[in-house]
Amino acid sequence: MFKKAVILAGGLGTRLRPLTNDIPKPLLPIQGKPLIEHIIQNLKSHGIKEIVLSVGYRSEQIKNYFGDGSNFKVKISYCIEEQPLGTGGAIKESTKYLDEPFFLVWGDNLMDIDYKKLYHSYLQHNTLIIMALTHREDVENFGVAELKGDMILNFVEKPKQEEAPSNLINAGAFIIDPKCLKILPEGKSSIEKDCFEKLAPNNEISAYIHLGQWFPTDTLEKYYHANDHFKPINN
């Protein structure tokens, strides 16, 4: 199984102010631990121990907390976003030395995804990307996947419930072949618009349905809900 992962965690967390006035979003506590520590622990529990943290806002605090990862029994390196690069630019910069598929994880979602199952599904489908999807009833707040079998054909952004092609949304966990990142322009870009939306119609993105916990934390309301209801993964 692939041993490397990139966690995208460079956002400003503006919708979480005032909590993020002095603390970067990845270090906000959930059940007594920084949000991103839960993500790292789940990766580690599945044998994924080489982790790149793509960070920007108050990155020194994050580096001071995690260091090289040895205290957490993983190996952590950092890609510092000096200027906003967008999701695509940040991922491209973080993976420029990788030549094999890697796990990619959004740093502001909490879930108990089974990365081994995601990996085996990736091998079965033989696509450039496999994307974890999760069920949501409030599809009008998310980008919704349109599927044909196990293949993602398209994404519909924040549709009305009666017009949504499914109730499955991007859960923020992937396996990505770095070859597909060549499609991204240099500098700032969006992985969603400049990569996913272009590859999906070509049958290059397969879907893995995550049925377990999934808590977004990008607003104060969602953050407090996650803090109250997320059940930490035991290592």
The sign of the CA dihedral 65, 98, 101, 95 is positive
Overall average pLDDT of the 171-198 stretch: 93
Does residue 214 surpass a pLDDT of 70?
yes
pTM score, two decimals? 0.94
Please say if 158 is a catalytic residue: yes
Does residue 230 surpass a pLDDT of 80?
yes
Does residue 137 surpass a pLDDT of 60?
yes
What number of other Cβ atoms are within 10 A of residue 82's Cβ? 7
Overall average pLDDT of the 101-113 stretch: 95
Cα angle: 235, vertex 177, 130; to 5 degrees = 65
Domain 4-229 has CATH 3.90.550.10: yes
Which position among 33, 73, 116, 158 bears the catalytic label?
158
Does residue 161 surpass a pLDDT of 90?
no
Query: Which of 44-48, 122-126, 136-140 is predicted with the least confidence, judged by mean pLDDT?
Result: 136-140
What was the pLDDT predicted at 235?
Answer: 56
DSSP character string of 64-76: HHHTTSGGGTSEE
What was the pLDDT predicted at 110?
Answer: 95
Spatial distance between the Cα atoms of 85 and 24, rounded to a whole number of angstroms: 17
pLDDT in tens, 50-70: 999 999 888 899 999 999 999
What was the pLDDT predicted at 81?
Answer: 85
pLDDT in tens, 9-36: 988 778 889 978 889 999 999 999 999 9
DSSP character string of 37-92: HHHHHHHHHTT--EEEEEE-TTHHHHHHHHTTSGGGTSEEEEEE-SS--HHHHHHH
The domain ranges of the chain are 4-229
Overall average pLDDT of the 108-115 stretch: 95
Spatial distance between the Cα atoms of 184 and 2, rounded to a whole number of angstroms: 23
